[in-house]
Structure 1
């Protein structure tokens, strides 16, 4: 077995563990979790972009609870304000590490920490959505997004990356209009968990 295969197996095992041990907030989230676990049971490569028509992704909403604000990116492909996130990579040891890597890369804040449950970073919500991540002329595929909350130190300053059209802090009660219900639900959940 190559190092890449070993890493992929470890990440797959971790994703199954993280999802199986997570306690969904309602029946909709329970069904999503069951669907994600079924996807991973049938797809050893189910965490990578090459797995079509669906693959697991990892994201993290960056929050500064002391200031009551969230950091959002204006996504260049989707054209709306979203949390940081993206595809898992072969070097990611865990699903939480993939979410944290994406959050650090896209926020420019190096000392983020994922919100934990019982000492272990834990997802807060799941979201399934259609995207064209393989190219604008290619069919849509499905992202099975596992969403975390990343805590920023008070007063953190963000640094925009090449992956964003814009990057801004927004007060919990002043989210931009150009966003979606999934992001609003994630902000509400993060706010409740960090109050």
Structure 2
């Protein structure tokens, strides 16, 4: 199965946010290249909120280009075979934590937002950090920091707060 096919399958099985889910499915139907950054009309992205439930915290990155505290994530790559795999790859690359695992195989939520390159139709997952995980800043970040669940609203926008809330509801 292609990454495009996996994205359609994942979104068809996702039962929340029905209107937004349909926007994503319509986009993929209209744009065979809708998974890739080169699709100027917008593209599917994959992200993962890295969480440490034992200490009640999440790992956020201060994005170099956007200068915002965000979850780990970004564009899909040709080597990605699944959306979940793309989200996990992005989280590992941007956090420096190679032994992350997904909280669940299904997305936690969807978030559509405008970026300098195009509309991002983000499929958001949650990834569990292993005990004793040590994060390492990547070239894509200005900073990388753990925040308590209750601190996220003070540093991040509402989309990240909603992702944290949706993730905590699944713990």
TM-score normalised by the chain length of structure 1: 0.85
- CA separation in 1, counterparts of 2:108 and 2:30? 24
- For the pair 1:31 / 2:16, whether they are aligned, the reply is no
Partner of 1:13: 5
TM, length-normalised to structure 2: 0.97
User: What's the secondary structure of 1:99's corresponding residue?
Assistant: helix
- Mapped pair 1:93 → 2:81: yes
Q: Distance in 1 between matches of 2:88 and 2:137?
A: 16
Matched, 1:69 2:57: yes
Query: Using the alignment, how far apart are the partners of 2:55 and 2:134 within structure 1?
Result: 12
Quote the offset at 1:193 in angstroms.
Answer: 1.0
Contact 2:153 2:161 in 1 (8 A): no
RMSD: 1.1
Match status 1:168 vs 2:160: no
| Structure 2 residue 42 is the aligned partner of structure 1 residue 54 | yes
The answer (yes or no) to whether the contact 1:126–1:144 under 8 Å persists in 2 is: yes
Residue of structure 1 equivalent to 2:29: 41
1:38 Cα offset (Å): 0.5
Unaligned ranges ≥5, structure 1: 1-8, 134-140
State the partner residue of 1:6: none
CA contact (8 A) 1:67 1:154 kept: no
SS in 2 for 1:59: strand
Instruction: Give runs of aligned pairs for residues 171-190 of structure 1, distance below 5 A.
Output: 171-175=148-152, 177-190=154-167
- Matched residues, number: 171
Contact 2:102 2:127 in 1 (8 A): yes
Unaligned runs of 5+ in 2: none
- Structure 1 runs of 4+ off > 6 angstroms? none
